[in-house]
Structure 1
Amino acid sequence: MTDNNEAKRPVLSLKRKPTPKPAEAEKTPQKPVQATGKSNKRARKNARHKHNQMLRLISIFPALLSEEDPKPFKIGILEDMAKYIADNELTFGIGQVKSALARYTSNYRYQKALAAGGDRYDLDGNPCGEVTPEQQAAAKEKTKAIKAVYNGKG
């Protein structure tokens, strides 16, 4: 090829979309993103998996955990659970324990038990400390928020 042919080659350029001005962006209402059927199915599967992890944790610690009648557990229970699981060589990772505890403690019944106050319990179900008034107030707020979401107001 010669230098003349290279000079005659067309140059491609990309056109950019004009960016909306801030005033125009505020006028256009944002539509909520709709979840697709596939992601809903994935979310249901993930929720079912987390619920099964929670049920497995309940079966390991029946004296402390209960779906029907939850009790507030002591501060630092995660470390006690991890030690128990390691000592008994159970196949339940720390991440799974954290996930199951998060699901358990975000439950309305657990928050309601926490809001009621009283004793906290260890792995064997023995009283070990008490719920503070600040923790009770926080739990009451969480129960209100859970109710609002459940009733469609959240």
Structure 2
Amino acid sequence: MKKRLLFLGLIYLIFISLGLPDSILGVAWPIMSSEFHVAASSAGVIAMVVSIGTILSSFQTNRLIQKIGVGNLIVCSIFLTVLGLCGFSFSQNFFFLIISAIPLGLGAGAIDTAMNDYVALHYKAHHMNWLHGFWGIGATLGPIIMGFYLKNQNWRGG
């Protein structure tokens, strides 16, 4: 029972981390767009690429779980998400931001779908509500963290 609760806590932490990058683009974009010399509306292109990656990976999650297992899928998805965020941080041009949005979306979609599926199958229904509440914590903390970096350093650190 204790192991099961610890694992649920880990899932909640994963969902906090899943929410962190979801709301930071809007906070950082005014500075990023001027640095990359693109229009403010160009953020929509990045958001669209992330969304398309999320949708595509969500559709494939069940097949991937059957092929490599939920644990391996989560590890691979976390790697993709980190790769995408590092790509954003090191990007020197707008095109590379778009390229970095691909693994970010693919990773986020697979994590989201796999964790939702796992919690739905192995825990009581109220845990699903808590799961998405923890995503909200991450989505709230993301702009706070980015704001700190914008004030004290730069958007790349955030």
Tell me the TM-score normalised to structure 2 length.
0.29
Structure with bigger gyration radius? 1
Structure scoring higher RCO (CA < 8 A, sep ≥ 6) equals 2
TM-score (normalizing by structure 1): 0.30
Bigger strand share: 1
**Which has the larger helix fraction?**
2
